[in-house]
A and B are shown apart, each in its own frame.
Chain A
Amino acid sequence: GQNIDQPTEMTATEGAIVQINCTYQTSGFNGLFWYQQHAGEAPTFLSYNVLDGLEEKGRFSSFLSRSKGYSYLLLKELQMKDSASYLCAGDSWGKLQFGAGTQVVVTP
């Protein structure tokens, strides 16, 4: 399979910036999805990268380097409601393979 690795947990202060890294094997994926999942809820879509570079959507940005098998999700101006698990997922023709998720804890 295509291993997807991301840190288990990150802690940051309200108003700060946090960067969640995701690495994967370089072959087999068409692009990279990021999903947010609050405890006890379903994952919700945040962003998708198919080309190298940065995609910006409000306070969230996602970056992809296909040659390096590397992506990151940048969360700016952190709010308490951003405390959640962030899932990196490789897309292979409509099939997603998820990492284990990074639990982000936002503290006051």
Chain B
Amino acid sequence: EAGVAQSPRYKIIEKRQSVAFWCNPISGHATLYWYQQILGQGPKLLIQFQNNGVVDDSQLPKDRFSAERLKGVDSTLKIQPAKLEDSAVYLCASRTGTGGIDEQFFGPGTRLTVL
């Protein structure tokens, strides 16, 4: 079974530039998450999708971050404009989301460096 795919794996940009990350979850997983993990910290939830609808985006800095999952499969996360403090690993995760208890499966992440 293929895992969660993310691209790019690494990205270096200058502050005030824009960047986009892509995620393809495990086939059939209805729930998709984006996390931000700053070095030395645990992952912090940015946004949760159920199919193509947003369940929770309360911790997404909406003045600069946006995310979409138009067809309920792939998702993109965008930062515009980037700040130095956005340097982190951005993790995408998915789970079946059909009810009950099941773990989240994480992708390899995109390591963003903002200079």
Interfacial residues, chain A to chain B (CB-CB below 8 A): 4, 30-31, 33, 41-45, 48, 50, 87, 89, 91, 94-101
Determine whether the beta carbon of A95 is less than 8 Å from that of B56: yes
Q: What's the least CB distance linking B75 to chain A, in Å?
A: 16
- Contact flag A100-B42 (CB < 8 Å), given A41-B108, A42-B91, A94-B48: yes
Contacts of B48 in A (CB 8 A): 94-95
Cβ-closest 5 pairs across A and B? A98-B42, A42-B106, A45-B103, A43-B106, A100-B42
- Interface size on B, as a range, is 20 to 34
A96–B106 Cα gap in the complex (Å)? 12
Determine whether the beta carbon of B109 is less than 8 Å from that of A42: yes
Determine whether the beta carbon of A44 is less than 8 Å from that of B106: yes
Interface of A is mostly: strand
Contacts of B101 in A (CB 8 A): 30-31, 48, 50, 91
Q: Digitize B29-71: 1 where CB-to-A-CB distance is under 8 Å, 0 elsewhere.
A: 0010100000011111100100000011000000000000000
List 18 contacting pairs A-B, 8 Å CB cutoff, sorted by A: A4-B42, A30-B101, A31-B101, A33-B103, A42-B4, A42-B107, A42-B108, A43-B91, A48-B101, A87-B43, A94-B48, A94-B97, A95-B56, A96-B43, A97-B45, A98-B44, A100-B40, A101-B41
Determine whether the beta carbon of A45 is less than 8 Å from that of B105: yes
Q: What's the least CB distance linking A62 to chain B, in Å?
A: 13
A-facing residues in B75-115 (Cβ within 8 Å): 91, 95, 97, 101, 103-109
Contacts of A31 in B (CB 8 A): 101
Determine whether the beta carbon of B41 is less than 8 Å from that of A100: yes
A-facing residues in B1-36 (Cβ within 8 Å): 4, 31, 33
